[in-house]
Amino acid sequence: GFLPLQGHVVRNWKVRWFVLLQDKLLYYKIEGGKKESSPKGRILLDGCTITCPCLEYENRPLLIKLKTKTNTDYFLECCSREERDSWALDITGAIHAGHPVQVQELHRMKNSFKLLENISLHDIVERMYDSSTGIKLTRNLDQGNRYKETFTGSALVDWLISNNFAVSRFEAVTLASMLMDENFIRPVGVRSTEATRSSDPSEKFLDDSTALYMFAESSKKNTSSKEEVQFNISELSGTIVKQGFLVKQGHKRKNWKVRKFVLRADPAFLHYYDPTKEENKPVGGFSLRGCLVSALEDNGVPAGVKGNVQGNLFKIITKNDIHYYIQASSKAERVQWIEAIKPLT
């Protein structure tokens, strides 16, 4: 699948097509909409160590870090916590292929706690913000530094349990860690920040009255139109139905670029992001109301499609008659996207 990868020499981010084998992770360049025949590079997994979640980049909370036995660091970014954990589990299984007991233990740990199906992290954060029943924000002092609007680790654990989001302190700590992984909250101060560097996932969030945390709000840029801000917030406020990397043809240059697509409902919008950019805001998007979505045959290139196309194409036509041509990585993935989009049109 597609994953953004940080370069070794020039520390920029490039999207590559990754293929996991038994002893190595290959990555390919996408040129003109088609995967190149030979790999751009490879990561040898023998002696490799994996860090997941990796919190070395504050604005990229869904990273996996691989360190080879020659001390080369690779940073891979996923588009959701579920995708990140799935990749990490499969890569770890390949690293420890000769040790099945370790792989079974990893599966057990991964499935030991699951968020209740009728509760989303977004719902929890909205409740945390509530002025009357939410988490109480206070000023706190840490090693001479004064922090405004913070809360302690133990206060958040108490709040999660008292609001029935967790039944034990272990579950509450796990849930708080998920909120931090998804960049809803962030550590402040020495104690909580140091804990995030722990190799043990259960120790990166502290149930402690001296560990400080705060809401990790995205930076807001001033705009001249209040109505424009409200519109952007509105269309980005829907429930995320599906997200993933797809290849999209540009409208002007007709070149193909990998984009991270996010499908939302209520309101129904499809946004796409440039995964090589640091700022997490859409580079495009459109309402799905009145759209038509359909698969395109792979035998021959349809009119309006340029370049050396890999296949698995589908097309979305908006109510304003704008045509979007998109490639999935497989026929099955194309079907999944079409089935997810159709009910929202």
198 close to 204: Cβ distance less than 8 angstroms: yes
Q: pLDDT tens digit string along 90-123?
A: 998 888 875 655 555 555 555 455 555 556 788 8
Residue 164 clears pLDDT 50, i.e. is over it: yes
Res 201: pLDDT = 63
Assess contact for 330 and 312: CB atoms under 8 A.
yes
Is the omega angle on the peptide bond into residue 302 within 30 degrees of 0, that is, cis?
no
Q: Does 53 sit behind a cis peptide bond, omega within 30 degrees of 0 on the bond before it?
A: yes
Q: Which two tokens stand for residue 75?
A: 């940073």
User: What confidence tens digit (pLDDT) does each residue in 242-300 have?
Assistant: 999 999 988 777 788 899 999 999 889 999 999 988 777 888 899 999 999 999 875 55
Task: Report pLDDT digits (tens) over 323-334.
Answer: 999 999 889 999
DSSP secondary-structure letter at 197?
T
Asked if the model's pLDDT at residue 143 lies above 70, the reply is no
Residue 238 makes CB contacts below 8 A (sequence gap 6+) with 264, 265, 266, 267, 268, 269
- What are the residue boundaries of the structural domains of the chain, listed by start? 2-111, 121-220, 233-342
- From CA 231, how far away is CA 81, in angstroms rounded? 27
Sheet bearing 323-327, strands edge to edge:
284-287, 269-273, 256-265, 239-249, 323-327, 313-317, 292-295
pLDDT higher at 193 or 310: 193
- β pairing state of 269-273 and 284-287: antiparallel
Structure tokens at 267: 């309101």
What is the reported pLDDT for 156? 93
Q: What is the dihedral of CA 206, 207, 210, 212, to 10 degrees?
A: 60
Token duo for residue 78: 């996923």
What does 160-189 look like in DSSP terms, one character per residue?
HHHTTS-SSHHHHHHHHHHHHHTTSEEEES
**pLDDT exceeds 80 at position 71:** yes
**Topology given in CATH for the domain delimited by 233-342:** PH-domain like (2.30.29)
> Identical fold at 121-220 and 233-342?
no
pLDDT confidence of residue 231: 44
Q: Of 37-41, 57-61, 332-336, which gets the smallest average pLDDT?
A: 57-61
Written as six digits, the tokens of 268 are 């129904």
Q: In this structure, are residues 211 and 189 in contact, taking their beta carbons and an 8 Å threshold? A: yes
Q: Tens digits of per-residue pLDDT, 183-241? A: 889 998 888 888 887 766 667 889 888 889 999 864 333 333 444 444 466 777 788 89
CA distance 328 to 166: 38
Architecture of the domain made up of 121-220: Orthogonal Bundle (1.10)
Residue 165 pLDDT grade (very low, low, confident, very high; cuts 50, 70, 90): confident
- Topology classification of domain 2-111: PH-domain like (2.30.29)
- Which of 116, 126, 130 is closest to 239 using CA atoms? 126
pLDDT of the residue at 139: 83
Q: Say if residue 174's pLDDT is above 50.
A: yes
CA-to-CA distance for 340 and 76, rounded, in angstroms?
A: 26
Mean pLDDT throughout 292-309? 70
What are the pLDDT digits (tens) for 269-285? 999 999 988 777 888 89
Query: In the prediction, which pLDDT does 308 show?
Result: 62
**Is residue 68's pLDDT more than 50?**
yes
